[in-house]
C-alpha cells in the first residue's frame, strides 16, 4: 500500500547528473538550480563534475558526470517526473535510442534505503554498482557505496506463498505486466521457450516449480518424478526469469486442505479418462497459483493440449487470471516432443518414441494429400502406431482444433490429432498432438 504523503518523512536522495551535448556544465548547473527552487526539494550538496567516456550506445562525445544530494519528501515517481521535465527543458528528446548522446541525463540513484521495482523506476539504480562514473561522485558526497544493496544475480527464489504473492503484488502495483510460467520442474527447452516468450511479452517473469501431488494418481510416478532444482534454477537464470517460486507441499497444501477446483466437459475424456482426478488436481493447483501471482499472462505448452483446454475453461468460467498463452511444441531433432518424462525411457524405447510424432505427421500428410475423412485419417495414424511393438496405445483422437470437442464421423475441415502411448515398465506415458493443417502450427519461441 502506498504511503500517504503527509506521513512520509524527508529522505536523503542521490541523483546522478550527466551531459555530453552542448554546454554540458551549464545544462547540469541549470538543472540543479531548478531543483533548488522546486517546492519540497532541498539541494544539500553537489559532487565534483568529472569527464568520463560514454558507456554503450552509438559513437558520441565524452560525458560530464556528477551526483547531487537532495532532501525531500516527494515520492520517487514524483522526482522521476521532475527529472524528465528537466531533461526535456534541456532539449532532450525521447527518441528511443538507448544510451544515445544527450544534453542532460538525470538518474535517481538512491532514495533513502528504499528498494523499489516498478516499470519505469528501480531503486537502488540497477546498474549503479557497475558504474565508476556514478560511484566516484557518490563517494565525493560521503556515501558509503560498499553498503548499497546490489541487484541479485539471477532470479529471486521464494518458498513461502505469502512472500511470492507479495513480490508479484508489488510488481503489479508498480505498473509491471507480470508473466507466469507454471512448471513441475525437470525443465527442458520446451519450458525455456515459454520463458523466452514470457520474457519478450512481460515486464516481469515468474516461474513456479512445484511437483503437484494432487494431479498424480495413486499408482502414478509422483515419487520418481524427476527433481532437478539446481539445473532448473540455472535454466531460469539463463532465460532472464525474475522470480522462481518453489514451495514445499505443506506450504501449498497445509493440513486440513480440502478445497478442489474442477471443470466439466474439457476434463472428461482422453487424459481425464485415463487419469481420474488428474485435471481436478491441475485446476486446483493452477487456481491457487493464479490467485497468488495474479499474472497478466500465463504460459502453457501445447504438448499438454487438453490441459490447456481445461485451463482455458477455468479461466473463462472463474476469471482467475489474465490472458492464457498457448505456446508451440518444442521437439527433439528426431521429432519427439520434449517432456520431463522422456528421461525415463530406456534407449530402445527412446528410439521407438518417435512413433507418436511419425503417426501424427502421417495423418497430417494424408490430410494435405486430400484425405479428409475422420476415420480414414485415424486409421492412417493408427497403422503407424501399430507398427511399433514397443508402444502401447492409450488413445488416439481427432478433435476440434480449438476446444478439443469430439468431431462427428465423415469429412473434417480441420482438426487436431492427439495420442497417448505407454512405453516400458513401469510404464512411461508420452503425449503428442498435431494440427492437421501443419502450417498453422505456431513455431515455438
Catalytic residues: 191
Are 315 and 324 in contact by the 8 Å Cβ rule? The answer is yes
Q: Which is nearer to a copy of itself, 106 or 244 (CB)?
A: 106
Distance, CA of 273 to CA of 395 (rounded, Å): 10
Q: Which is nearer to a copy of itself, 119 or 237 (CB)?
A: 119
- What's the grid cell of residue 285? 493447483
Q: Is 269 in the site for a copy of itself (CB under 8 A)?
A: no
Q: Is 163 in the site for a copy of itself (CB under 8 A)?
A: no
Q: Is 29 in the site for a copy of itself (CB under 8 A)?
A: no
Could you check whether the bond before residue 326 is cis, i.e. omega within 30 degrees of 0? Answer: no
For cell 524405447, the residue is 349
Q: Is 254 in the site for a copy of itself (CB under 8 A)?
A: yes
Distance, CA of 375 to CA of 234 (rounded, Å): 46
Q: Is 116 in the site for a copy of itself (CB under 8 A)?
A: no
- What's the grid cell of residue 335? 521429432
Among residues 84, 351, 372, 437, the one that binds a copy of itself under rule CB under 8 A: 84
Q: Which is nearer to a copy of itself, 258 or 409 (CB)?
A: 258
Distance, CA of 106 to CA of 28 (rounded, Å): 9
Q: Where are the alpha helices (DSSP H) in 269-346?
A: 271-274, 278-293, 305-318
The residue among 420, 421, 417 whose CA lies nearest residue 435 is: 417
Residues 6+ apart with CB under 8 A from 199: 179, 205, 239, 240, 241
Stretch that binds a copy of itself, among 53-61, 317-325, 350-358, 421-429 (CB under 8 A): 317-325
Stretch that binds a copy of itself, among 59-67, 234-242, 262-270, 414-422 (CB under 8 A): 262-270
Classify residue 216 by its DSSP letter.
S
From the CB of 5, what's the least distance to a copy of itself, in Å? Answer: 5
Stretch that binds a copy of itself, among 88-96, 130-138, 184-192, 382-390 (CB under 8 A): 88-96
Sign (positive or negative) of CA dihedral 283, 286, 292, 297 = negative
Measuring CA to CA, how many Å separate 240 from each of 98, 155, 169, 233?
Answer: 20, 8, 20, 11
Q: How many residues in total does the chain contain?
A: 445
- What's the grid cell of residue 229? 532444482
Q: Is 255 in the site for a copy of itself (CB under 8 A)?
A: no
Distance, CA of 87 to CA of 371 (rounded, Å): 65
Classify 254 as helix, strand or coil.
coil
**Cα distance from N-terminal residue to C-terminal residue, the chain:** 37
Neighbouring CB atoms inside 10 A of 422's CB total 17
Helix axis angle, 305-318 to 278-293, nearest 10°: 50
Q: Which is nearer to a copy of itself, 74 or 180 (CB)?
A: 74
Q: Is 115 in the site for a copy of itself (CB under 8 A)?
A: no
From the CB of 297, what's the least distance to a copy of itself, in Å? Answer: 13
Backbone angles phi, psi at 394, to 5 degrees: -90, -50
- Residues 385-404 touching a copy of itself, rule: CB under 8 A, are none
Measuring CA to CA, how many Å separate 112 from each of 12, 75, 163, 198, 273?
Answer: 5, 11, 23, 33, 58
From the CB of 319, what's the least distance to a copy of itself, in Å? Answer: 5
- Residues 350-369 touching a copy of itself, rule: CB under 8 A, are none
From the CB of 177, what's the least distance to a copy of itself, in Å? Answer: 7
Q: Is 98 in the site for a copy of itself (CB under 8 A)?
A: no
From the CB of 216, what's the least distance to a copy of itself, in Å? Answer: 19
Q: Is 99 in the site for a copy of itself (CB under 8 A)?
A: no
Q: Is 85 in the site for a copy of itself (CB under 8 A)?
A: yes
Q: Is 82 in the site for a copy of itself (CB under 8 A)?
A: yes
From the CB of 253, what's the least distance to a copy of itself, in Å? Answer: 8
From the CB of 276, what's the least distance to a copy of itself, in Å? Answer: 16
Q: Which is nearer to a copy of itself, 5 or 53 (CB)?
A: 5
Are 337 and 361 in contact by the 8 Å Cβ rule? The answer is no
From the CB of 52, what's the least distance to a copy of itself, in Å? Answer: 25
Measuring CA to CA, how many Å separate 132 from each of 64, 145, 331?
Answer: 13, 11, 45
* Window 175-214: contact mask with a copy of itself (x via CB under 8 A): x-x-------------------------------------
Q: Which is nearer to a copy of itself, 94 or 425 (CB)?
A: 94
Among residues 212, 284, 339, 340, the one that binds a copy of itself under rule CB under 8 A: 284
Among residues 27, 283, 325, 385, the one that binds a copy of itself under rule CB under 8 A: 283
Q: Which residues bind a copy of itself (CB under 8 A)?
A: 1-2, 4-6, 31, 34-35, 37-41, 73-75, 77-78, 80-82, 84-86, 88-89, 94, 119-120, 161, 165, 173, 175, 177, 253-254, 256-266, 283-284, 287-288, 291-292, 294, 313-314, 316-320
Amino acid at each position: 500500500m502506498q504511503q500517504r504523503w503527509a506521513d512520509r518523512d524527508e529522505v536523503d536522495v542521490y541523483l546522478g547528473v550527466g551531459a555530453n551535448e552542448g554546454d554540458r556544465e551549464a545544462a547540469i548547473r541549470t538543472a540543479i538550480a531548478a531543483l533548488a527552487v522546486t517546492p519540497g526539494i532541498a539541494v544539500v550538496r553537489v559532487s565534483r563534475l568529472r569527464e568520463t567516456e560514454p558507456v554503450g550506445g552509438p559513437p558520441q562525445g565524452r560525458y560530464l558526470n556528477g551526483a547531487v544530494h537532495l532532501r525531500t519528501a516527494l515520492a520517487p515517481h514524483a522526482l522521476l517526473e521532475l527529472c524528465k521535465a528537466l531533461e526535456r527543458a534541456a532539449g532532450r528528446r525521447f527518441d528511443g535510442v538507448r544510451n544515445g548522446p544527450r544534453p542532460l541525463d538525470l538518474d535517481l540513484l538512491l532514495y533513502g534505503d528504499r528498494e523499489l521495482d516498478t516499470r519505469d523506476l528501480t531503486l537502488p539504480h540497477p546498474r549503479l554498482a557497475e558504474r565508476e562514473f556514478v560511484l566516484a561522485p557518490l563517494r565525493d558526497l560521503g556515501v558509503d557505496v560498499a553498503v548499497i544493496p546490489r541487484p541479485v544475480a539471477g532470479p529471486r527464489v521464494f518458498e513461502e506463498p505469502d512472500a511470492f504473492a507479495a513480490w508479484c503484488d508489488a510488481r503489479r502495483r508498480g505498473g509491471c505486466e507480470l508473466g507466469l510460467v507454471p512448471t513441475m520442474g525437470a525443465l527442458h527447452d520446451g519450458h525455456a521457450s515459454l520463458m523466452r516468450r514470457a520474457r519478450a511479452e512481460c515486464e516481469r517473469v515468474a516461474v513456479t516449480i512445484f511437483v503437484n501431488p494432487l494431479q498424480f494418481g495413486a499408482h502414478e510416478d509422483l515419487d520418481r518424478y524427476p527433481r532437478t532444482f539446481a539445473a532448473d534454477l540455472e535454466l531460469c537464470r539463463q532465460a532472464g526469469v525474475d522470480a522462481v517460486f518453489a514451495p514445499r507441499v505443506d506450504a501449498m497444501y497445509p493440513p486440513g486442505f480440502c478445497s478442489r477446483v474442477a471443470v466439466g466437459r474439457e476434463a472428461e475424456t482422453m487424459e481425464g479418462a485415463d487419469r481420474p482426478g488428474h485435471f481436478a488436481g491441475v485446476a486446483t493447483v493452477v487456481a491457487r497459483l493464479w490467485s497468488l501471482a495474479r499474472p497478466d499472462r500465463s504460459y502453457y505448452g501445447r504438448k499438454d493440449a487438453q490441459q490447456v483446454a481445461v485451463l482455458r475453461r477455468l479461466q473463462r468460467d472463474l476469471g482467475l487470471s489474465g490472458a492464457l498463452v498457448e505456446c508451440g511444441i518444442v521437439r527433439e531433432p528426431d521429432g519427439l516432443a520434449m517432456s520431463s518424462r522422456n528421461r525415463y525411457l530406456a534407449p530402445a524405447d527412446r528410439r521407438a518414441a518417435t512413433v507418436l510424432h511419425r503417426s501424427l505427421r502421417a495423418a497430417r500428410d494424408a490430410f494435405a494429400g486430400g484425405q479428409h475423412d475422420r476415420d480414414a485419417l485415424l486409421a492412417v495414424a493408427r497403422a503407424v502406431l501399430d507398427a511399433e511393438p514397443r508402444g502401447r496405445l492409450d488413445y488416439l483422437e481427432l478433435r476440434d482444433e480449438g476446444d478439443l470437442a469430439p468431431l462427428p464421423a465423415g469429412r473434417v475441415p480441420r482438426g487436431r490429432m492427439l495420442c497417448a502411448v505407454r512405453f516400458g515398465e513401469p510404464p512411461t506415458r508420452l503425449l503428442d498432438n498435431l494440427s492437421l493443417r501443419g502450417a498453422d502450427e505456431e513455431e515455438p519461441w
